[in-house]
Structure 1
Amino acid sequence: MAVLTDEQVDAALPELDGWERADGALRRSVKFPAFLDGIEAVRRVAEHAEAKDHHPDIDIRWCTVSFALVTHSEGGITDKDLQMARDIDGILG
C-alpha cells in the first residue's frame, strides 16, 4: 500500500468532516456533550477498527475525543486511513 502525497491527502480533506493533516497523520477532535457520550463513541469506533484491523490512535480528555490516523507500517497516510476517516465520520454521524 502506497503512502499518499500531501497533494492527494489535501484533495481528499474537503470530503472528510473536521479532519486535517497534521504531524504526518489525519486528525480530528470531537467534543461530546458528556464524558460517557465520548466513551460510547470510542467503543463504537474501536469495534469497527478491530473488524477492519486498522486501529486509530485515540486520546480521551474529559468530553473531547481526538483521533489520529496513519498507517504506521507504511510510514504515512494511505488510502486505508482515508477510508477509516470516512468510516469514523459515519459512526459519529
Structure 2
Amino acid sequence: MDKLSNTDIEKKLLRYPDWDYFDDALHAEFEFENFKDCFSAMSRIAFECEAQNHHPNWTNVYNVLTISLSTHDAGGVTDKDFKLIEAIEAIVEPEE
C-alpha cells in the first residue's frame, strides 16, 4: 500500500475532526466516562484491528485512550489507516 501525500491526508481528515496528523501518523485521544467504558472500547477496537490485520500504537490511562496510526510497511499514513479510523469512530462514537 502506498503512502498518502500530505494533501490527501489533510483532505481525508476533514471527515474525522477528532484526529490530527503529525510525525507521519494519525493521532486521536478519546475520553470515556470511566475505565470500564474505555477498556470495553479498546477490546472492541482490538477485534477490528485483528480483522483488518492493522494494529495501532495506543495507550490507556484510566478513562483516556490515546491512539496513533500509521502503516509501518509504507513508512507513513495509507488508506489502510483511514479504514481503521472509520471502524474506530463507529466504536467510540456510535450513531444515536
Task: Please state which band the TM-score falls in when normalised by the shorter chain.
Answer: over 0.9
2:61 corresponds to: 61
Instruction: Kindly state the Cα deviation for residue 14 of structure 1 after the two structures are TM-superposed.
Output: 1.1
Task: Kindly provide the CA deviation profile for residues 15-42 of structure 1, in whole angstroms up to 9, marking residues without a partner as x.
Answer: 0140110211011100111011111000
Instruction: Kindly state the Cα deviation for residue 71 of structure 1 after the two structures are TM-superposed.
Output: 0.3
Quick check: 1:35–1:63 contact (8 Å CA) kept in 2? yes
Aligned to 2:60, the other structure's residue is in SS state strand
2:48 corresponds to: 48
- 5+ residue gaps in structure 2? none
Quick check: 1:17–1:89 contact (8 Å CA) kept in 2? no
Quick check: 1:70–1:77 contact (8 Å CA) kept in 2? yes
Taking the aligned partners of 1:52 and 1:6, their CA distance within structure 2 comes to 24
TM-score norm. by structure 1 comes to 0.95
RMSD after superposition: 0.8
> Equivalent residues in 2 for 1:21-40 (5 A)?
21-40=21-40
Pairs aligned (count): 93
Aligned to 2:91, the other structure's residue is in SS state helix
Identity of aligned residues (%): 31
- 5+ residue gaps in structure 1? none
2:91 corresponds to: 91
Taking the aligned partners of 2:26 and 2:57, their CA distance within structure 1 comes to 10
Q: For 1:42, give the aligned amino acid.
A: M
Q: For 1:69, give the aligned amino acid.
A: L
